[in-house]
A and B are shown apart, each in its own frame.
Chain A
Amino acid sequence: MAEPLLSVRDLVVEFPTRRGILRALDRVSFDIMPGEVLGMVGESGAGKSITGAAIIGLIEPPGRIASGEIRLKGQRIDNITPEAMRKIRGKRIGMVFQDPLTSLNPLYTVAQQLIETIRTHIDCSEAEARKRAVALLDRVGIPAAARRIDDYPHHFSGGMRQRVVIALALCAEPELVIADEPTTALDVSVQSQIIEVLKDICAERGAAVMLITHDMGVIAETADRVAVLYAGRMAEVGPVREVITEAMHPYTAGLMSSIPTLTQESDRLVQIPGAMPRLNAIPTGCAFNPRCAKAFGPCTVERPELIAQEGGRQVACWLYDEAKRREVPHV
């Protein structure tokens, strides 16, 4: 198997608060292969965005990476100096944020922001940077890019601004792009266009994408593999088709069945009973056990680790641990 582009191992992110330390991420592990699109799904507060922030080294203090490793092409990036990390940001890992209306500095033209970013990472003249910037804007689908590049962000619509944001994230040709809910703040009508642009341009350049979203539709259309987070823990990782059609983890199954489809003839949407636990009240054992219909003996006692399954899948659930199942014969 080829070497993963990004490898996250047992990542723990903690936030010290007055009422004790909150674990936002608890031993999260996953890989992203070169050129791959990994979808990261989960409910609000499951730790999707924190994972993205941890990778790019921008966790808001006092939050911090307490343990674990993040490797980019084998090189550790979670414990390097801030200056070394700064050089990786933008250059090797790009990031697209959720809200294009607030992601751009209102006081600078698009050209100024693009050229500044390009020249931070690539040694080139102002004119050359400008040429690259225009080409990039053209590529992300801004009409009359050469003219519009000198406009200010407020001259652009939300969808156009997100295209500019994508251009900014990609302007130094990063190997990995972390897209944190890139379409959530947009009109439904432009969401698919933006995803299309992001996917195509990354495929062209061979950049891998970590797509953070709670929109399963977007994941189904875009991602190669999908990782499901629950309460700061990885529940299931696998190729997107298989995970969607035959989810292994009961939480994933619940998540998939709660997606409305046009062909489905049911009156009510299926929902998972209960709510995700708060970070200071995660139950012992599997974090999902109080909501799980299939919970049995070990689920309330011991936390399940990710277990490799056939077809490159991994699932953290005791149901797939033969030894545990035998211990509790009545299941």
Chain B
Amino acid sequence: MIAFILRRLLQSIIVMVAVAAVSFTLFRFVGDPISSMVGQEASIADREALRDSLGLNDSIISQFLRFMGDALQGEFGISYRLQMPVTELILQRLPATVELALVSGTLAFVLGLSLGVYTALKRRGILSNLIMTGSLIGVSLPTFLIGVLLIWVFAVELRWLPSNGRGEVVALGDWWSTGFLTHSGRLALILPAITLGLYQMTLIMRLVRAEMLEVLRTDYIKFARARGLSSRAVNFGHALKNTLVPVITITGLQLGSIIAFAIITETVFNWPGVGALFINSVRFVDVPVMAAYLMMIALIFVVINLIVDLLYYAVDPRLRVDRAAKAH
């Protein structure tokens, strides 16, 4: 078990270094940050001086090593555009994105799982067929379109929900601000959370349904029924647990992409999260912010993958033994 975790950790580190290298070198070519930082009147000498002071004239290798060294200490330099420490910038924006992702992730998982189970158990029901047809919309409509449609219906026509920003936020401690505690904050969460979570929800739902139907056909479910276990015990105790093994992987990866795809939703709803920060940074070739953002997303994916692997262990006893047997 410990050997397994260590091995996975090592793999994770390699992945992180690779991502760092890719993001770093990639951003060397996206444009010249100097031109967006200085006015048009700046002389060539001024530009050179700025370039020097930012360390942009050093070799790529030494720049990368400096970047890595700083990154290890959570230090991603100063934003070219905002002249603020990048880490601070991201931390400031992170609560908005994390809260949005958590709400839509939970929404997607809970609804996806229950609808998936429902449609699998009531395969021929009218409601199931309606849900399945409806889910096609979720799968096929692009996120920004769903967002715009929701804004049009609920914000413009019905005027029920806000379409813009986070509402009022309350500071929790020094570095976290939450929208959960105010009425306007909770209202503001609804539309973006649905927009962001809809695709993931339909995906999870369809996956759960397919897996569940597969499991319900197996012999051990027939045998469980033949032993007179209640349909509750058969469906939820035996079938659902077996369904969860593949669902966990996908759901974990989906949570990662919810955070990554928040970029689009945040832009549509003018949500003050890291995604919006990233988009603005791209526009201004703010390399330190972009690099830090990519590193952060990579880290989130790596951590989620690690958790998914550990959950596998918890759910499926066969994995535990295969490892143990190899060790003998």
Interface residues of A, Cβ cutoff 8 Å to B = 56, 58, 86-91, 94-95, 97, 99, 102-109, 116-117, 120-121, 152, 154-155, 165, 168-169, 172
Contact = CB atoms under 8 A, between A and B. Distances in A.
Contacts of A58: 222, 225-226
B321 interface: yes
A58 B317 CA distance: 29
A116 B220 contact: no
A94 B227 contact: yes
B155 interface: no
B317 to A, nearest CB: 5
A188 B129 CA distance: 48
Contacts of A91: 228
Find the residue from B219, B230, B315 having the highest chain A CB count within 10 A: B219
Interface of B: 218-220, 222-231, 233, 237-238, 241-242, 315-318, 321
A154 B229 contact: no
A109 to B, nearest CB: 8
A97 B321 contact: no
A89 B228 contact: yes
B318 to A, nearest CB: 5
Given A89-B226, A97-B226, A102 B318 contact: no
B218 A102 contact: yes
Contact of A107 (B225, B230, B315): B315
Contact of A87 (B228, B242, B316, B317): B228
Contacts of A172: 227-228
A95 B220 contact: no
A70 B222 CA distance: 21
B228 A116 contact: no
B219 A90 contact: no
Contact of B227 (A90, A107, A154): A90
A106 B223 contact: no
Contacts of B315: 107
B230 A86 contact: yes
Contacts of B229: 86, 90, 116-117, 120
A97 B225 CA distance: 12
B227 A97 contact: no
Given A90-B228, A116-B237, A154 B321 contact: yes
Contacts of B321: 152, 154-155
A87 B230 CA distance: 9
B227 A120 contact: yes
A129 to B, nearest CB: 13
B233 A168 contact: no
Contact of A88 (B228, B238, B242, B317): B228
Given A120-B233, A154-B321, A104 B227 contact: no
18 contacts: A58-B226, A86-B229, A89-B227, A91-B228, A95-B226, A97-B223, A103-B220, A105-B238, A106-B220, A106-B318, A107-B242, A108-B238, A117-B227, A117-B228, A120-B233, A154-B321, A155-B321, A168-B223
A152 B220 contact: no
Given A58-B225, A106-B242, 19 more contacts: A87-B228, A89-B226, A90-B228, A94-B227, A95-B223, A97-B226, A99-B219, A102-B220, A103-B220, A104-B220, A106-B317, A106-B318, A107-B241, A107-B316, A107-B317, A120-B228, A152-B318, A168-B223, A169-B226
Given A99-B219, A152-B318, A168 B242 contact: no
Question: Which of B220, B238, B318 is packed against the most chain A CB atoms within 10 Å?
Answer: B220
Nearest to B227: A90
Contacts of B223: 95, 97, 103-104, 165, 168
A105 B224 contact: yes
Contacts of A106: 220, 242, 316-318
A105 B245 CA distance: 13
Contact of A168 (B227, B237, B317): B227
